[in-house]
Chains A and B, each alone.
Chain A
Amino acid sequence: GAGVSQSPSNKVTEKGKDVELRCDPISGHTALYWYRQSLGQGLEFLIYFQGNSAPDKSGLPSDRFSAERTGGSVSTLTIQRTQQEDSAVYLCASSAPSGTSYSRYAGELFFGEGSRLTVL
């Protein structure tokens, strides 16, 4: 697609349930990021994937959070045993690889519209 696609756009779940959030990055983008935006807060870095390298999981808030990226494209963020404090908008972004053909977009992240998670 033309942009980063995220699904679902809205998810309401009960405390203790597991949820999966999906991100389909821009074709050809090798880097993929997950951020979390809580109400009235800035963006909190969660995890970063770059090509076939091991992901940087340093931003994941607890071991209930995990993410994978299959085939270097689509990514899934999984939250197990959801808690009310997990309620937030989860934003996915992708960026182009470095190199002359992408130099115009150097460093720029392209964001999806986010998945709004509400835990009751």
Chain B
Amino acid sequence: AQSVAQPEDQVNVAEGNPLTVKCTYSVSGNPYLFWYVQYPNRGLQFLLKYITGDNLVKGSYGFEAEFNKSQTSFHLKKPSALVSDSALYFCAVRDMSWGDYKLSFGAGTTVTVRA
């Protein structure tokens, strides 16, 4: 079984401040980890992923995420948030050790960046 937890329903930050969106996961094998963003009335857009290799992965729009195996976390970060980053963010996991193809999503975190 695989699952994802996003402990914060909402994150509010001021423009220019660092942004962190938390994610923890649970898989029985090796994880593929993803972050997606959803703007109002739109589909999900891919931000970044961790497959293997460096624990720090860089993605679109200045976002990055750090894979921490011991803490089973994959927090999304951006050093300086923009108002345009306001959106709904989803963390997702796939257990590739068993060839599991389902992508299991967290409940999402709404990010609001105030000017």
Contacts and interface: CB of A to CB of B under 8 A. Distances in A.
29 contacts: A4-B43, A31-B101, A33-B103, A35-B105, A41-B107, A42-B105, A42-B106, A42-B107, A43-B44, A43-B90, A45-B102, A45-B103, A48-B101, A48-B102, A91-B43, A93-B103, A107-B51, A107-B94, A107-B96, A107-B103, A108-B34, A109-B34, A109-B44, A109-B103, A110-B46, A111-B45, A112-B43, A113-B42, A114-B42
Given A91-B44, A113-B43, A107 B34 contact: yes
Nearest to B48: A108
A98 B34 CA distance: 17
A12 interface: no
Interface residues of B, number: 21
A33 B51 CA distance: 20
Interface of B: 32, 34, 36, 42-46, 49, 51, 90, 94, 96, 101-108
Given A45-B104, A108-B46, 17 more contacts: A33-B103, A42-B105, A42-B107, A45-B103, A48-B101, A48-B102, A91-B43, A107-B32, A107-B49, A107-B51, A108-B34, A109-B44, A109-B103, A111-B36, A111-B45, A112-B43, A114-B42
Contacts of B101: 31, 48, 50, 56
Interface of A: 4, 31, 33, 35, 41-43, 45, 48, 50, 56, 91, 93, 106-114
Nearest to A33: B103
Q: Is the interface of A mostly helix, strand, loop or mixed?
A: strand
A92 B103 CA distance: 13
